[in-house]
């Protein structure tokens, strides 16, 4: 009954980003700021997105509504929906309707207790709510290693079977992170089917220490130059996105429908991000040129397989005498060099789209020893020049303002408050 009382009211934002968006309000809820921009109601609310596109020479229209959490500003809500709007347009262009097709899954035979059958049922369920990259890791583990057990009845599997498989992987010099995926797959798969092994008896190698870029700024410049001058246009574009902190899986799945050229942004749908969020990033001139240099104009921006991307990356690194790096290390390189040259840890965390500031701190600050030494060296350098007067203009940002209010709070707590406010 309450939903019927809500009527669509066109959203007003001075940056014109809310085209085709309406807020669903009761008659007495329409409010505007002093800048004549729509103000949200003090409750959970919904935004309706209306789009149109040409399908088979016929103009089609469609609309969907999205629930927005209480306290979310209109500007932030609209920004989060830009990717959905472009996706809706693309759906209309290709299908002529926004109606979703019913998903059809393979029929599962619960009486078949072979690992191959049980795995198919398990991975089918995972595909419903897990990210593409997670599914890729699971399937790679099964198809490469667990496939040896495919004809075994799961009720007959023992701790020794799993341990022997792990020992075989260690003998083949597989990395600890690769080996540990065996438990990530087998434990939930077996327990879902009422098979409980004593995993305390199974010895797994400790995970590799977090990979962190150890090179100098000059090394980073050499690597960046080689990547951005690589002759292959598709891979050169991929490198540009990796050097902005994006993950390779996100980059290779980036589609034109995720890009808003008018606003100069791109939004990654939660289905392809590790954090299962939909972050929006600025389309810098470097990234815009990377996109424009592609021959494609719809679908995926970079028409390339992951294996091919790996080949081109290692070819580039070999050409400049850099060994032992993988593509994911470029995220570390961007973060480390940024922090080393004065970037704020909070800004770096946002660039890498970490859900928690603690993730960035743990990965790149460790116990803080290096930063403490860095601060001491800065102070000592300043003391060596006692007559030099340094004039600094300080802009009161969110951190400074909150620090003034809560002077006894630690920096970590202040950043946590900022994240909650976002």
* pLDDT tens string 67-126: 888 888 998 888 888 888 888 888 888 888 887 655 544 555 557 899 999 999 898 888
* pLDDT tens string 29-45: 889 999 899 999 998 89
CA distance 17 to 12: 9
Backbone φ and ψ for 280, nearest 5 degrees, come out as -115, 135
Compare 394 and 82 and report the one with higher pLDDT.
82
Predicted confidence at residue 391, as pLDDT, reads 41
- Yes or no: say if 20 and 50 are a contact pair by the CB < 8 Å rule: yes
pLDDT(167) > 90: yes
Predicted confidence at residue 313, as pLDDT, reads 93
**Has this prediction a pTM greater than 0.75?**
no
The dihedral through the CA atoms of 282, 284, 288, 291 has a sign that is: negative
Predicted confidence at residue 263, as pLDDT, reads 87
Alpha helices in 354-397, H assignment, sequence order: 357-364, 369-383
Confidence of residue 58 (pLDDT cuts 50, 70, 90): confident
* pLDDT tens string 7-28: 899 999 988 888 899 999 988 8
Predicted confidence at residue 242, as pLDDT, reads 92
CA distance 399 to 56: 53
Confidence of residue 305 (pLDDT cuts 50, 70, 90): confident
Predicted confidence at residue 239, as pLDDT, reads 94
pLDDT(245) > 80: yes
Predicted confidence at residue 276, as pLDDT, reads 77
CA distance 102 to 121: 19
- Yes or no: say if 83 and 283 are a contact pair by the CB < 8 Å rule: no
- Provide, for the chain, the percentages of residues in helix, strand and coil under a 3-state DSSP scheme, each rounded to the nearest 5: 50, 10, 40
CA distance 3 to 68: 15
Q: Which residues pair with 31 in a beta bridge?
A: 39
- Yes or no: say if 239 and 253 are a contact pair by the CB < 8 Å rule: no
pLDDT(392) > 80: no
CA distance 396 to 417: 16
Compare 58 and 373 and report the one with higher pLDDT.
58
* pLDDT tens string 337-383: 887 877 766 666 667 666 555 655 555 555 444 444 444 454 445 44
pLDDT(142) > 90: yes
């Amino acid at each position: 009954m309450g939903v019927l009382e809500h009527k669509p009211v066109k959203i007003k934002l001075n940056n014109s980003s809310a085209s085709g968006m309406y807020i669903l309000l009761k008659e007495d809820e329409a409010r505007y700021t002093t800048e004549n921009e729509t103000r949200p109601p003090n409750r959970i609310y919904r935004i309706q997105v209306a789009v149109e596109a040409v399908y088979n020479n016929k103009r089609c229209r469609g609309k969907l509504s999205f629930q927005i959490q209480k306290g979310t500003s209109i500007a932030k809500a609209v920004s989060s929906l830009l990717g959905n709007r472009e996706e809706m347009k693309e759906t209309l262009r290709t299908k002529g309707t926004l109606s979703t097709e019913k998903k059809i899954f393979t029929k599962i035979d619960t009486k078949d207790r072979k690992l191959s059958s049980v795995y198919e049922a398990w991975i089918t369920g995972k595909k419903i709510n897990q990210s593409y990259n997670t599914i890729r890791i699971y399937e790679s583990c099964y198809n490469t290693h667990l496939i040896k057990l495919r004809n075994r009845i799961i009720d007959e599997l023992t701790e020794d079977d799993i341990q022997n498989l792990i020992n075989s992987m260690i003998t083949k010099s597989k990395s600890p992170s690769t080996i540990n995926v065996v438990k990530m797959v087998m434990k939930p798969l077996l327990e879902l089917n009422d098979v409980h092994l004593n995993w305390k008896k199974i010895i797994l190698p400790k995970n590799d220490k977090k990979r962190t870029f150890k090179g100098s700024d000059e090394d980073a410049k050499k690597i960046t130059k080689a990547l951005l001058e690589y002759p292959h246009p598709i891979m050169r574009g991929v490198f540009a996105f990796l050097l902005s902190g994006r993950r390779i899986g996100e980059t290779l799945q980036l589609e034109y429908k995720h890009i808003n050229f008018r606003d100069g942004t791109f939004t990654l749908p939660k289905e392809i991000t590790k954090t299962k969020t939909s972050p929006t990033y600025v389309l810098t001139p470097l990234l815009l040129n990377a996109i424009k240099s592609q021959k494609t104009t719809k679908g995926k921006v970079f028409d390339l397989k992951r294996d091919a991307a790996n080949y081109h990356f290692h070819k580039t690194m070999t050409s400049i005498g850099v060994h032992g790096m993988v593509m994911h290390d470029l995220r570390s390189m961007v973060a480390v060099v940024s922090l080393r040259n004065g970037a704020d840890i909070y800004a770096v965390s946002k660039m890498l789209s970490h859900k928690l500031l603690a993730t960035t701190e743990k990965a790149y600050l460790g116990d803080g020893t290096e930063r403490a030494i860095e601060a001491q060296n800065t102070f000592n350098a300043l003391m060596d020049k006692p007559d030099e007067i340094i004039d600094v203009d300080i802009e009161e940002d969110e951190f400074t303002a909150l620090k003034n209010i809560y002077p006894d709070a630690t920096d970590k707590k202040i950043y946590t408050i900022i994240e909650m406010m976002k």
